[in-house]
Chain A
Amino acid sequence: MTSLHPTNAQRSEGTAAAPLAIELVGINKHFGPVHANRDIHLAIRRGTVHGIVGENGAGKSTLMSILYGFYTADSGEIRVNGTPAHITDSRHALALGIGMVHQHFMLVDNFSVLENVVLGAEDSAFLAPTLNKARTQLKALARDYGLEVDPDAIIENLSVGQQQRVEILKALYRGAETLILDEPTGVLTPDEADHLFRILGKLREEGKTIILITHKLREIMAITDEVSVMRQGAMVKTLNTKETSPGELAELMVGRRVLLRVEKGPASPGKVLLDVEDLVVTDDFKVPRVKGVSFQVRAGEIVGIAGVAGNGQSELLESIAGMRDQLLGTIRLNGEVLSLEGDDGAARARAAGLAHVPEDRLRMGLVTTFSEWENSILGYQHSYGSGAGLDIAKARATAEEYIKKFDIRPPNLDLKTANFSGGNQQKIVLAREMERNPDVLIVGQPTRGVDIGAIEFIHNQIIKMRDAGKAILLVSVELDEIRSLADRILVIFDGKIVGEADPATADETELGLLMTGSHAGDVGTVSEPGTLAPHETPVQQTLTQMSPQDNSGKDPNQ
């Protein structure tokens, strides 16, 4: 993708000649009984892109937080440009030229780009001189690194990719020589990710150092010069990217061999179990997010909905699951119309045989302050005990069974759910929803923030459900995941299904373009404005009345 920088060649010679931007020596960090970082040694060469991979809880974030001054290491030394530094806070880190782009952006939504860039770095009590200076510098930065953003645009009107560029600009404006990027592509479209990598390439050419934390091995292979693998708080190995493979990295991360591809047989779709017709759903602010969506899911097939986050997927899932009232449309489950009005619609959806693995397990799928067994019955609490009392023994037996079947670790049903890792939390949710033998399973982002080892397991469980004749609706922003799991792909953009594709033959670029609405209408268009039949349908009428505003660039979860 990008030509390798000379320093890369220097490094390949195996000499220590290339100057080190950052050096971590013997870093240790404990959180109570948890040893989050164990004697970490890491050398990051100036002018390189250095990847750090590892499962959740491997200690990557802790390590970077120590480097960025959020935490102080219990022992060990940080050297910046060869000089030992005791970094006390993020301001100090910035002064040393270390900037961070967080996974969740730290931007003020109703400020302009310029105001966000100077926020906290104002030169004087008056804003105008700082803003003028920043405007000039921003222009230079945009020119040098391809970081084009309108300085006067308001953050909330920018796409996620553009917001990320603002975060990078913020760091560069403050003089960052080393940039830490934490899971930068999690919220980006493939196209935006490519753009980001071009920017990173430019930054490297200009001599900046980049530390890239990610769990996507493809990105590591594409952009990094060196990659360090962490496991269980320890640094396992630092490798030359050119001399390694995704398989090797995955194995190092997990500590055993991992199947990166999902193995599944062909689908044998049966009768229609989930039938969604002309569904219109609004968000909390009464803005339509799902704008007339129709599709069917048959028994024994996985239908994947691909799209950039914030294009109505969340509202679609929540509406089918009974959590969000639908404005128009019909949802049929097994031929029966589901009536989901009211704020206890989810109970009726469940009773009808629908299980829901929500997109955001922490916000929705779990009560994290509950113990494990309590979450094992969330949504099904009514079937535990005949009268008013809760049959705790039965609930605990259920939890015990799930822990065994889904290999939930640690196998402690009294442990607070917040203390499980992301993958194990997701297993708690999956076990609860899958083991109820539902007819229809709707799954949102099944592997978001989940370790590689658990991803394999979760994917296999979903396939197993399919092969058992369940209808599965899968929503994911990970195109790879949709492609490897789904039997049919529907692409959603701006609340509408803009195309359908066969995962076996679908072209990534084509899908990417569909997902960004670039050329809706090429592949099996379902509905496109402008080409409507002369008489308006009720759906269109309603949408027109509500004068939908364009919110496609915004992710409500941000």
Chain B
Amino acid sequence: MTPLPRWADVVLLPLLNVVLAFLVGGLIVLAVGQNPLQAVGIMLYGAFGYGSGFGYTLYYTTDFIFAGLAVSLAYHAGLFNIGPEGQAYVGGLGVILLGLALNGAHWAIVFPLMIICGGAFGALWAFVPGYLQAKRGSHVVITTILFNFIATSMMGFLISRVLKPVGVNSDESAPLEAITRVPQLRTFIELFKNSPVNLTFFLAIIALFFIYWLIWRTKFGYAVRALGQNPVAANYAGISNQKMIMIVMAMSGVLAAMVAVNNVGGVQGRLILNFVNGAGFVGIAVAFMGRGHPVGVGLSALLFGILYQGGQELAFQMPGITREMIVTIQALVILFTGAMGDMLRAPLARLLARSSSPTGAK
């Protein structure tokens, strides 16, 4: 089969998948007796229509960019990291420990250290599956899933038994002081009032550029891609598969842990149970929809940000559409862009091959 041209692969195919998902979602909305067009309108208004809503959209987008990049980076090395959820969760431990240790210090000092410390915890949580894959052949898909569970249990224990201050009823750590927290954009920009989007958003944008540079413009990225595309050829090229697997997994964990910087450092200001709230898993869909490319990851993270924020608006505005239905629509997007993302590939390739005249190139 002739492959798709790059533009069709990166732009057209994901777009068609999203449209398809919305069409099916629209049918469901129609089936419960609501107006799908109105629903889309409310969704878009909720996501972009006013400052606070837009701020929330960007806040969700921040999470999804990091989780999406974590999955993408690993995927370029041929590794399917399903564990950003757990890595972000454990990363939160690093963030809060650092924050509490320096509680009261200015955020300008704490923020970079949070990135480093949280990143280190996330890296460790991803490194172990990487090590097991490299040295023992245990598949990262299995081990990262297991590590998600371990993270949930371990963090639950640590939060409720160790970090919870005496006299506090809910399961959460002691709070960070306002000056120590990563500042939210509303302190600088009036538009984002009441929304949690914070400086970590810019970190996410930087991460998008950095990962692009890393994968396509460095020797390391070259080795990562060689390993991902053909491990035997990578071995032939003298690239140590084992080292690369461990390094890439650790880096993937660092990216996932930035979700914790966003939430623990920038929004909650404390470590609460289950603060990741599925963002790590959404990252998998984001990565696949974005085809592992930072541009795609950025765009699909934004789409999921819109779905999350706009969906909440929708559930609030249209009583006929329940929270569960929003999740259904989100799931449809994941289904069509992720699991069935290649469904339209063959027909599209045929269509394009037919419409383009024979060039004689082989």
- When A388-B218, A392-B217 are in contact, do A343 and B360 touch as well, CB less than 8 Å? no
Distance in Å: Cβ of A384 to nearest Cβ of chain B: 7
Q: Which residues of B contact A30 (CB under 8 A)?
A: 358
Say yes or no: is B188 at the interface (Cβ < 8 Å to chain A): no
Chain B residues 203 to 242 lying within 8 A of chain A, measured CB to CB, are 217-223, 225-226, 229-230, 232-242
Distance in Å: Cβ of A378 to nearest Cβ of chain B: 5
Question: Do A347 and B219 touch (CB < 8 A)?
Answer: no
Q: Which residues of A contact B360 (CB under 8 A)?
A: 33, 35
Say yes or no: is A310 at the interface (Cβ < 8 Å to chain B): no
Q: A363 vs B229: C-alpha distance in the bound complex, in angstroms?
A: 11
Question: Do A367 and B230 touch (CB < 8 A)?
Answer: yes
Return the chain A residue nearest B237 by Cβ: A379
Q: A321 vs B359: C-alpha distance in the bound complex, in angstroms?
A: 41
Q: Which residues of A contact B230 (CB under 8 A)?
A: 363-364, 366-369
Q: Which residues of A contact B359 (CB under 8 A)?
A: 33
- When A323-B235, A344-B238, A378-B237 are in contact, do A367 and B221 touch as well, CB less than 8 Å? no
Interface contact tally, CB-CB below 8 A: 102
Tally chain B residues at the interface, Cβ within 8 Å. 33
Chain A residues 326 to 375 lying within 8 A of chain B, measured CB to CB, are 342-350, 356, 358, 363-370, 374
Say yes or no: is B2 at the interface (Cβ < 8 Å to chain A): yes
Return the chain A residue nearest B213 by Cβ: A389
Question: Do A343 and B235 touch (CB < 8 A)?
Answer: yes
Q: A547 vs B223: C-alpha distance in the bound complex, in angstroms?
A: 39
Q: A180 vs B217: C-alpha distance in the bound complex, in angstroms?
A: 48
Question: Do B225 and A370 touch (CB < 8 A)?
Answer: yes
Say yes or no: is B243 at the interface (Cβ < 8 Å to chain A): yes
Question: Do B236 and A385 touch (CB < 8 A)?
Answer: no
Q: A392 vs B226: C-alpha distance in the bound complex, in angstroms?
A: 16
Distance in Å: Cβ of A517 to nearest Cβ of chain B: 29
Question: Do A344 and B226 touch (CB < 8 A)?
Answer: no
Chain A residues 366 to 410 lying within 8 A of chain B, measured CB to CB, are 366-370, 374, 378-379, 381-382, 384-385, 388-390, 392, 410
Question: Do B362 and A385 touch (CB < 8 A)?
Answer: no
Q: A370 vs B217: C-alpha distance in the bound complex, in angstroms?
A: 14
Return the chain B residue nearest A375 by Cβ: B233
Q: Which residues of B contact A137 (CB under 8 A)?
A: none
Question: Do A369 and B236 touch (CB < 8 A)?
Answer: no
Distance in Å: Cβ of A368 to nearest Cβ of chain B: 7
Say yes or no: is A529 at the interface (Cβ < 8 Å to chain B): no
- When A30-B358, A32-B2, A367-B226 are in contact, do A321 and B219 touch as well, CB less than 8 Å? no
Question: Do A344 and B243 touch (CB < 8 A)?
Answer: yes
Question: Do A385 and B235 touch (CB < 8 A)?
Answer: no
Question: Do B238 and A348 touch (CB < 8 A)?
Answer: yes
- When A347-B238, A378-B237 are in contact, do A389 and B219 touch as well, CB less than 8 Å? yes
Say yes or no: is A125 at the interface (Cβ < 8 Å to chain B): no
Question: Do A390 and B221 touch (CB < 8 A)?
Answer: yes
Question: Do A363 and B232 touch (CB < 8 A)?
Answer: yes
Query: Interface digits, B84-108 against A, CB 8 Å rule (1 contact, 0 not)?
Result: 0000000000000000000000000
Q: Which residues of A contact B2 (CB under 8 A)?
A: 31-33
- When A342-B240, A390-B219, A390-B222 are in contact, do A410 and B233 touch as well, CB less than 8 Å? no
Say yes or no: is B361 at the interface (Cβ < 8 Å to chain A): yes
Q: A419 vs B239: C-alpha distance in the bound complex, in angstroms?
A: 25
Q: Which residues of B contact A344 (CB under 8 A)?
A: 238-240, 243
Question: Do A358 and B237 touch (CB < 8 A)?
Answer: no
Say yes or no: is B356 at the interface (Cβ < 8 Å to chain A): yes
Query: Interface digits, B347-362 against A, CB 8 Å rule (1 contact, 0 not)?
Result: 0000001001111111
Return the chain A residue nearest B236 by Cβ: A364
Give 8 pairs: A residue, B residue, CB < 8 Å, sorted on A: A33-B2, A33-B357, A344-B238, A346-B237, A370-B226, A385-B219, A389-B219, A410-B361
3 nearest interchain CB pairs? A347-B238, A32-B2, A344-B240
A-B contacts besides A365-B233, A367-B234, A370-B229, 11 pairs, CB < 8 Å: A31-B2, A32-B353, A323-B236, A344-B240, A344-B243, A346-B236, A365-B236, A367-B233, A378-B236, A389-B219, A419-B362
By a beta-carbon cutoff of 8 Å, the part of chain A in contact with chain B is: 30-35, 57, 321-323, 342-350, 356, 358, 363-370, 374, 378-379, 381-382, 384-385, 388-390, 392, 410, 416, 419, 421
